[in-house]
């Protein structure tokens, strides 16, 4: 997973913000890293209208709707931690946002690794309180 995640694509200790703003910021990181074309960011926002990407355990995993996958150039993820939590349109505030650009098997592999690293609430707490180097080491 180290080829998909770069330390500079990890933002820690961020302030709460509207989810669309967070998605745009993480999408911009994926765009600047050469993972996606700009249109994919709108695909991630559109996905939220169809399906809330808050998966529980204080984690949201925004990704593009199926039709936006044509804008993925290479697999990548961008991570943001929000210690205070932010509203994601569900009962539970989100403290870790992991934006994914991937398709096919790569997408499934990324989701599997996220589930592995963040399956326990204690693991989520650890990530929220970690710096970019520590988070990178957990996922790589």
Residue located via tokens 């913000």: 17
Q: Which of these is catalytic: 19, 24, 47, 63?
A: 63
63 noted as active-site residue: yes
Tell me, what DSSP letter sits at residue 9?
G
Print the SS3 string covering 36-72. ECCHHHHHHHHHHHHCCCEEECCEECCECCHHHHHHE
Q: Which residues are catalytic?
A: 63
């Amino acid at each position: 997973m180290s080829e998909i995640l770069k330390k500079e694509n990890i933002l820690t200790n961020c302030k709460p913000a509207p989810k669309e703003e967070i998605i745009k910021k993480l999408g911009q990181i994926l765009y600047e890293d050469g993972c996606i074309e700009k249109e994919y960011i709108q695909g991630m926002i559109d996905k939220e209208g169809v399906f809330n990407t808050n998966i529980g355990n204080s984690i949201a995993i925004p990704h593009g709707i199926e039709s936006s996958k044509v804008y993925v150039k290479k697999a990548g993820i961008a991570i943001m931690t929000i210690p205070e939590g932010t509203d994601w349109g569900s009962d539970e505030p989100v403290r870790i946002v992991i934006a994914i650009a991937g398709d096919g098997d790569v997408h499934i592999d990324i989701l599997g690794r996220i589930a592995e690293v963040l399956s326990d609430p204690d693991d989520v707490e650890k990530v929220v309180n970690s710096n970019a180097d520590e988070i990178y080491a957990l996922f790589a």
